[in-house]
Amino acid sequence: MAERSFAREVQDLKKRAGEEFSGEGILAITKALLQSGVAYVAGYQGAPISHLMDVLNDAKDVLDELGVHFENSASEAAAAATLSASVMYPIRGAVTWKSTAGTNVAADALSNLASGGVKGGALIVIGEDYGEGSSIMQERTHSYAMKSQIWLLDPRPDLPSIVRAVEEGFELSEVSNTPVMLEVRIRSCHVHGKFICKDNRKPPFTLQQALEQPVRDANRIVLPPASYLHEAEKIEKRWPAALRFIKERKLNEFFGPERGTVGIIMQGGMYNGVMRALQHLGLADIYGESKIPLYVLNVTYPLIDDEVAAFCAGKSAVLVVEESQPEYIEQAINTILRRHDINTRLAGKGPLPMGGEYTASVLLKGIGDFLVEHTPALLGNRPPLPDPNPVLQHDKVRALAKVVPQRPPGFCTGCPERPIFAAMKLVEQELGPHHVSADIGCHLFSILPPFNIGATTMGYGLGPASASAFNVKAAKRPISVMGDGGFWHNGLSSSIGNAVYNQQDGVIVVVDNFYSSATGGQDLPSSRARNPRRSTNNSIVDAVKGVGVKWVRQIDRTYDVAKMRDTLREALTTAETGPKVVVASSECMLNKQRRVRPLFQKAQRDGKRVVRERFGVDEDVCTGDHACIRLSGCPSLSVKHTDDPLKDDPVAAIDDSCVGCGNCGDVSEAAALCPSFYRADIISNPTWLDRALAKLRSAVIGFLQNRRAGARIAFAD
């Protein structure tokens, strides 16, 4: 199960030459791959390109018809290694993942690929996950492209430019025998637009032909002496071939007047933001006509020295719009200008901030400051700059921000991982705090309130590995946490196998929620669903035992907080040595709701009897100490005021977002808090028996309530 289905949209991938394609960026990329005659595609899901993987999964019929092989790779390294098919054979292949985290994982394979070079076109679609919407370290792919000499495309964020970049990226790769990276940011992946289609192409040379006609070229294998020759080949052949292709095809673009006192050089991905800022400044119209010369780098590596020099010549100053740091492009352009003895003043980091996402407001201020310094007459008597975010500056919003505390990101309502960390907090009360190594995934939210559990996170599937240094005799054992996604990505060998081999004595909690939930709910080898295209239902417990773990416990319902607590306590206190693994399993509630809710709604429409569980809090019993909230943190748990004059504090309450997981009640029971939680069954399309029982219950409860009310002592006013 994926985050969303593209079953309807993928039908547009069949459109023929001359037809108009309308959709979002990831669909345009897929269509461009098919138009380019790609033979195989692989990748690992992750924002912002996880939907690209979902599109390819849903497009199986289209891919099969063209003879295109597609697979979900076990990791980014596995995906990158797939490109070896393009080393010896004239086969076009593409891979995709989230960068820079995924590029780090794929580093070994990419370095070998870039060294030996490729014969067929090799395209790496990089989801540049940078900025305010990112969930990873704030780095950029540019340095990796420079390090390994992989050409880096950064097309303007509109569909025709993206499609052209895919198609000509393959050609650039083949002409220069070099893999090519296509960098697309979050907005590029999801921008909507139109372009005119070409016919889809079957691969001219297929994978089957390659298998039946094997080729071997020792000069392409990274071993001495060939590896020493690869560097010379990069400089003497591949680089000049790439420069010629980029210039001849005019991959970089020029907009605005040919001459001007100032100009702007930008990454292609920054184009829309720059144009928006120029519109606010009165220097561009809504059709993209600029009054300032613009040089758009749809290829950010390598740079074309002649184009840069020609653009800068005769201008007093040029602004470089390069998001993130270090300022690789700005430094390179400075070098080009010095070599050509051009004295144009270069600005970049200064008017624009060194780090952070270049949003509309950031670009508006940076470009405005640059123009005020170098050509104020160009701005004229402009009106005051409009605020790009007027709502945030409203007095009422500012006042609200002072009163309402920030709410940190956390687990979804009903998340089965929440009770795991509630149990861990209960154990902490008994045994004291332990060092906890966290991991990439939803469970990383445990480091934030209300749990505040977790000291470090070093990479996907590396939670237990990051506790390796603590394999010493001590009064307490280290705890490490890893998800099922990280387990199959890297953790089985790097974490579990490593712990067995080095006889580590720590506790490892594997959070098994049946999906790669953090990347959009894709299936895994251990997913419980029957996937006709993948091998699922492979046991994590069996895999762990297979690499030598002796102490293993399986918990099939994480919502049983008492059992979770007791199992963790046993793992931390047992006399048995060696790694102790707790596999805590329950289905991801978000994916469960995606699966169950449509079935529930259909049954309702069909007039069938359906029951939905809801939990509530008896406000007469609740004491208002809110310990349940501190130990749960569920978004559906809130507070409300009561009319009881004997209660000063608001009581706990459960809102309509409750999904009936029961965690709040289990936490209260395990922590011996209070009996104020109750469960209610909401019945749709009730039978006559349901109605009769409801009337009977109402009568009995009404009788008891009236009797209690009559026994109360009433005081006169």
* CATH number of the domain encompassing residue 311: 3.40.50.920
Quick one: average pLDDT of 475-498? 93
pLDDT of residue 1: 55
* Mean predicted confidence (pLDDT) in 542-569: 94
| Domain co-membership, 294 together with 216 | no
Residue 644 lies in a domain: yes
Question: 238 and 121 in one domain?
Answer: yes
The pLDDT score that the predictor gives to residue 617 is: 84
Tell me, what DSSP letter sits at residue 417? T
| Interval 148-165 mean pLDDT | 97
d(CA 300, CA 320): 12
Between residues 191 and 383, which one has the greater pLDDT?
A: 191
Cβ-based neighbours of 571, under 8 Å, separated by 6 or more: 477, 507, 551, 553, 580, 582
- Report CA-CA distances (Å) from 344 to 90, 258, 322: 44, 16, 18
In one-letter notation, the amino acid at residue 61 is: D
The answer to whether residues 225 and 265 touch, using CB atoms and an 8 Å cutoff, is: no
Residue 702's pLDDT band, with cuts at 50, 70 and 90, is: confident
Question: Under 8 Å CB-to-CB from 86, ≥6 apart: which residues?
Answer: 92, 93, 118, 119, 120, 121, 122
Name which of 687, 706, 672 is nearest 609 in CA terms: 687
Residue 397 lies in a domain: no
pLDDT (average), residues 174-203: 95
In whole angstroms, give the CA distance from residue 593 to residue 629: 23
Q: Is residue 3 part of a domain?
A: no
Identify whether the C-beta of residue 414 lies closer than 8 Å to the C-beta of residue 661.
Answer: yes
pLDDT range class, residue 76, cuts 50, 70, 90: very high
Does residue 231 share a domain with residue 162?
A: yes
The CATH code of the domain that includes 194 is 3.40.50.970
Does 399 map to a domain? no
Kindly report the three-state secondary structure assignment for every residue of 475-518.
CCCCEEEEEHHHHHHHHHHHHHHHHHHCCCCCEEEEEECCCEHH
Please give the pLDDT value at position 381. Answer: 64
Q: 378, 407, 439: which is the final residue of a domain?
A: 378
Q: Are 187 and 157 in contact (CB under 8 A)?
A: yes
* pLDDT of res. 275: 95
CA-wise closest residue to 437 among 414, 471, 485, 488: 471
Lowest-confidence pick of 392-401, 526-535, 576-585, 651-660: 392-401
Could you tell me if 569 and 511 lie in one domain?
Answer: yes
Q: In the structure, how many helices (H) and strands (E) does the chain have?
A: 27, 23
Report the pLDDT averaged over residues 366-370.
94
- 80 and 208 housed in the same domain: yes
Give pLDDT, residue 663: 76
Are residues 228 and 277 both part of a single domain?
Answer: no
Task: Identify the residue with better confidence: 391 or 177.
Answer: 177
Q: What mean pLDDT is reported for the chain?
A: 90
User: What does the alpha-carbon distance between residue 603 and residue 593 come to, in Å, rounded to a whole number?
Assistant: 15
- What does the pLDDT read at residue 436? 93
Identify the residue with better confidence: 659 or 182.
182
Domain housing 625: 609-711
Same domain? 73 vs 131: yes
Token digits of residue 345: 């003043």
- As a whole number of angstroms, the distance between CA 63 and CA 54 comes to 13
CATH code of residue 617: 3.30.70
pLDDT confidence of residue 160: 97
Lowest-confidence range among 5-9, 12-16, 172-176, 562-566? Answer: 5-9
Check pLDDT > 60 for residue 586: yes
Mean pLDDT (whole number) for 662-669: 71
23 and 116 assigned to the same domain: yes
Least confident of 273-277, 335-339, 630-634, 692-696: 630-634
Structure confidence at residue 573 (pLDDT) = 95
Q: Are residues 34 and 65 in the same domain?
A: yes
Share of the chain above pLDDT 90, in %: 59
3-state DSSP call for residue 633?
Answer: coil
Give the pLDDT mean for 220-230. Answer: 89
Confidence of residue 382 (pLDDT cuts 50, 70, 90): low
Orientation angle between helical segments 271-280 and 360-374, nearest 10 degrees: 60
Angle between helices 418-431 and 663-670 (to 10 degrees): 10
Query: What token pair was written down for 577?
Result: 């040595």
Distance in angstroms (rounded) separating the CA atoms of residues 414 and 457: 24
Q: What was the pLDDT predicted at 671?
A: 60
Band (pLDDT 50/70/90 cuts) for residue 701 is confident
| Stretch among 47-56, 72-81, 234-243, 318-327 having the lowest mean pLDDT | 47-56
Give the pLDDT score at 542.
94
What's the pLDDT at 643?
77
CA distance 640 to 625: 12
**54 inside domain:** yes
Q: Is residue 619 part of a domain?
A: yes
Tokens of 433: 């705090």
The domain total for the chain is: 4
Chosen domain end from 201, 234, 249: 249
Helix (H), strand (E), coil (C) string for 153-217: ECCCCCHHHHHHHHHHHHHHHHHHCCCEEEEEEHHHHHCEEEEECCCCCCCCCCHHHHHHCCCCC
Ranking 115-119, 136-140, 312-316 by mean pLDDT, the lowest is 136-140
- 443 and 572 part of one domain: yes
Predicted pLDDT of residue 71: 92
Rounded-to-integer distance, Cα 243 and Cα 240, Å: 5
pLDDT of residue 459: 86
Q: Does the pLDDT value for residue 516 go beyond 60?
A: yes
Q: What integer pLDDT is reported at residue 135 of this predicted model?
A: 79
**pLDDT at 335 > cutoff 90:** yes
Contact by Cβ (8 Å): 537, 488: no
Examine residue 716 and state whether it is found in any structural domain, yes or no: no
Angle at 266 between CA 263 and CA 270, to 5 degrees: 130
Residue pair 566/560 in contact by the 8 Å Cβ criterion: no
Token pair 């009788």 is found at 703
269-283 burial code (b ≥16 CB/10 A, e <16)? bbbbbbbbbbbbbeb
Q: What is the mean pLDDT of residues 237-246?
A: 98
pLDDT for the residue 204: 94
Determine which of 57-71, 254-268, 450-464 has the lowest per-residue pLDDT on average: 450-464
| DSSP one-letter string for 570-612 | HHHH-S--S-EEEEEE---HHHHHHHHHHHHHHHHHTT--EEE
Q: Is residue 383 part of a domain?
A: no
- Domain match, 263 and 137 both: no
Q: Would you say residue 656 has pLDDT above 90?
A: no
Whether the Cβ atoms of residue 528 and residue 514 lie closer than 8 Å to each other: yes
Q: How many CB atoms lie within 10 A of CB 706?
A: 10
Q: Give the burial class of 714: count Cβ atoms within 10 A of its Cβ; 0-12 exposed, 13-18 middle, 19 or more buried.
A: exposed
Q: What does the pLDDT average to over 514-537?
A: 84
In which band, very low, low, confident or very high, does the pLDDT at 291 lie, cut at 50, 70 and 90? Answer: very high
On the question of pLDDT at 402 being above 80, the answer is: no
pLDDT reported for residue 651: 85
pLDDT of residue 670: 65
Q: What per-residue confidence (pLDDT) applies to 680?
A: 82
Of 198, 227, 249, the last residue of a domain is 249
Q: Residue 68 class from Cβ within 10 Å (0-12 exposed, 13-18 middle, 19+ buried)?
A: buried
* pLDDT number for residue 400: 77
Whether residue 209 is found in the same domain as residue 284: no
Percentage of the chain lying above the pLDDT 70 cut? 96
Rounded to an integer, what distance in angstroms lies between the CA atom of residue 703 and that of residue 714?
19
With 80 as the cut, is the pLDDT of residue 315 above it?
Answer: yes
